Amino acid sequence: MSARSIQTALPGNVSRETLERLDRFETLFRDWSRRINLVAASTEEEFWTRHIADSAQLVAIAPDARHWADLGSGGGFPGMVVAILMSEAADARVDLIESNRKKAAFLQTARAQCAPAARVHAGRIEAVVPTIPQPEIVTARALAPLPDLIELAAPWMKAGTRALFHKGRGYATELAECRAHWEFDLVEHPSRIAAGSVILDLTAVRRRGSG
Ligand SMILES: C[S@@+](CC[C@H](N)C(=O)[O-])C[C@H]1O[C@@H](n2cnc3c(N)ncnc32)[C@H](O)[C@@H]1O
């Protein structure tokens, strides 16, 4: 499978240059995967669906957003894929935060070769978030339960940043836990890739009792 063969799962019209960037990212990803764990080995075969298309579906939800930040980016999902898809937008910026030194080195290499819109921060989310200007969208996939994600992104979300969080089947319990401490507007987008999974779209987040 290649970038071209999953183009129907990608948002909008994806240019030839962007498809080439995605192909370059795959080559780099497979090369580095031989030395470090970038995703669970069992999912590498489904690179284009489980990782690229799963990440790319976010851009279809927020096509006009230009400044994104991705928490715990790992091997680049979803942040690096968003950054590649934004490559031709002059004003695009995607901040990727990853504390693992080797994964952050991979992300720096990918930025240099495939994704000029990406900015890689090798550090802990708690320390890096206050150093980044408020993004329009914050994302996270497979990082932490929803209550912890909201706490990590709270400095931005309380100021109006919209969150797009990938979540699997157990998300209803996590939402119920969040509602004990937070109020927010919610849209649940069914995943285009994984049956039963969702993209939780949270806006207007405020802590309960904060007035
Ligand atoms: C399970 S992986 C998911 C990676 C990627 N988002 C994905 O879906 O493939 C979680 C990643 O978050 C990073 N991480 C966990 N806690 C972090 C923190 N407090 N600050 C920065 N990165 C963190 C880990 O190093 C790891 O690479």
Please choose, from the candidates 192, 29, 159, 16, the residue with its C-alpha nearest in 3D space to the C-alpha of residue 107.
29
Which residues constitute the domain of residue 193? Answer: 4-207
SS3 99: coil
- Categorize the per-residue pLDDT at 29 as very low, low, confident or very high, splitting at 50, 70 and 90: very high
Atom of ligand 1 nearest to the CA of 51: 9
Nearest protein Cα to ligand 1, atom 20: 124
Confidence class for position 210, pLDDT limits 50, 70, 90: confident
pLDDT of residue 5: 64
Query: Residue 72 CB: number of other CB atoms within 10 A?
Result: 22
Task: Tell me what pLDDT residue 42 has.
Answer: 81
How far is residue 82's CA from residue 69's CA, in Å, rounded to a whole number? 10
Could you read off the pLDDT of 55-64 as tens digits, one per residue?
Answer: 999 999 999 9
**Residue of 95 and 9 predicted with greater confidence:** 95
pLDDT at 211: 61
Question: Whole-prediction pTM value?
Answer: 0.96
pLDDT (average), residues 95-112: 98
d(CA 206, CA 185): 10
CATH assignment at residue 113 = 3.40.50.150
**Atom 26 of ligand 1: nearest residue by CA position:** 74
pLDDT above 90 for 146: yes
Q: How many whole angstroms from 122 Cα to the centroid of ligand 1?
A: 11
Measure 160 CA to ligand 1 centroid, in angstroms.
24
Total domains present in the chain: 1
Give, for ligand 1, the residue of 54, 68, 70, 73 to mutate: max count of ligand atoms closer than 8 Å to Cβ: 73
Give pLDDT, residue 39.
83
The percentage of residues in the chain with a pLDDT greater than 70, rounded to a whole number, is 96
Cβ–Cβ < 8 Å for 133, 108: no
Question: Per DSSP, what are the bridge partners of residue 137?
Answer: 68, 162
Over 90: is that where the pLDDT of 182 sits? Answer: yes
Per cent of the chain over pLDDT 90 is 86
ipTM of predicted complex:
0.99
Closest CA to 140 of 154, 130, 160: 154
Average pLDDT over residues 123-134: 98
**Confidence class of residue 40 from pLDDT cuts 50, 70 and 90?**
confident
Query: For position 209, what pLDDT does the model report?
Result: 84
